[in-house]
Structure 1
Amino acid sequence: MSKSLRNALLALALPVFGACAVSPETAPPVPDPLKGTQWQLVDIQYMDDTVLKPDADGKYSLRFADDGSVSIKADCNMLGGSYTFTSPSGLEFGPLRSTMAFCGEKSLYDRFTKDMPFVRSFVIKDGKLHLALMADGGIYQFSPLP
């Protein structure tokens, strides 16, 4: 993981702790920046320096709907459920239902189903979406879909 990306993610964590001192009545509502967006996976970067990339464009994607639902394409399977955005950069997925086709041994489907419950925050930087796993587990990097 690049040092600048790691620093950006750490910088996002600081306002979360500072926000605890602001009462909900005085804090202006922050619109959900993910609503209505769609992204395709670029790579997954784990803290042990393992980097995994999809074997083809478009096989792995996220679509955040305006109603708080998320659709995930993970190779030959589709996952769906809800997500929760908390200002300024919190993100958690609710239970995700999934089709159960076998996509092949090189598929990242199993990674997605294992990692998505551990997403806790995100940052949109340089036009890319970065999902951070809890306990500094790793980063999923996505580029926008047209």
Structure 2
Amino acid sequence: MNRLTRAAVLAAGLLLAAACDESLTRPSDIEGRTWRLVSLTRTGTASINVADPSRYTLRFADGGHVNVRSDCNTCGGAYSLTGTSFSIGALACTRAFCGDASLDADYTRALQTARSLARAGTELTIQCDGVVLRFQM
């Protein structure tokens, strides 16, 4: 094989490998769906299973906007997703008291420290500073 042919074969192989990498998530993979929080795990502690996942949701919209339900509060903000790198900007939230047992403050605080995101089928995992959030569609 000549140099040009080798380069073309190598480039095609790299493109194919990137296309098959399921760890890379596109906005279209998460937009238009409601993601329900099923567990919150802090580093070094047991996982907290969410009793009513419908009270803690994410909904990604076109244009990089995210809507959040955090128990009795709602929030909105912007998000950025490139490959597995993920972040949520400052969230504008209502501030009702949802009760002592609520996860609302922990949940919204974790979302604002999000670093990466991965989707596997109907499951979405967001890695945050010291917290892992696991969602299902």
Shorter-normalised TM-score: what interval? 0.7 to 0.9
Q: Distance in 2 between matches of 1:69 and 1:117?
A: 14
Report Cα offsets for 1:103-127 as digits up to 9, x if no partner.
0000000102221111010111242
Q: Deviation above 3 Å: which 4+ runs of structure 1?
A: none
1:62 aligns with 2:55: no
Q: Distance in 1 between matches of 2:121 and 2:43?
A: 21
Correspondence list, 1:1-146, <5 A:
31-32=26-27, 33-86=29-82, 88-134=83-129, 137-144=130-137
Three-state SS of the structure 1 residue aligned to 2:102 is: coil
Describe the shift of the 1:31–1:55 C-alpha distance in structure 2 as closer, same or farther (beyond 3 A).
closer
Report Cα offsets for 1:89-146 as digits up to 9, x if no partner.
1110011000010000000001022211110101112420000013xx12100000xx
Does the 8 A contact of 2:33 with 2:60 survive in 1? yes
Does the 8 A contact of 2:26 with 2:81 survive in 1? no
**TM-fit CA distance, 1:57:** 3.2
Q: Distance in 2 between matches of 1:55 and 1:105?
A: 15
Report Cα offsets for 1:6-61 as digits up to 9, x if no partner.
xxxxxxxxxxxxxxxxxxxxx99x84222223200100112213212223231100
Give the corresponding residue for 1:14: none
Identity of aligned residues (%): 31
TM-score normalized with structure 2 length = 0.76
Q: Distance in 2 between matches of 1:66 and 1:46?
A: 30
| Structure 2 spans left out of the alignment, 5+ residues | 1-17, 20-24
Question: Larger Cα Rg: Structure 1 or Structure 2?
Answer: 2
CA RMSD of aligned residues (A): 1.9
| Structure 1 spans left out of the alignment, 5+ residues | 1-26
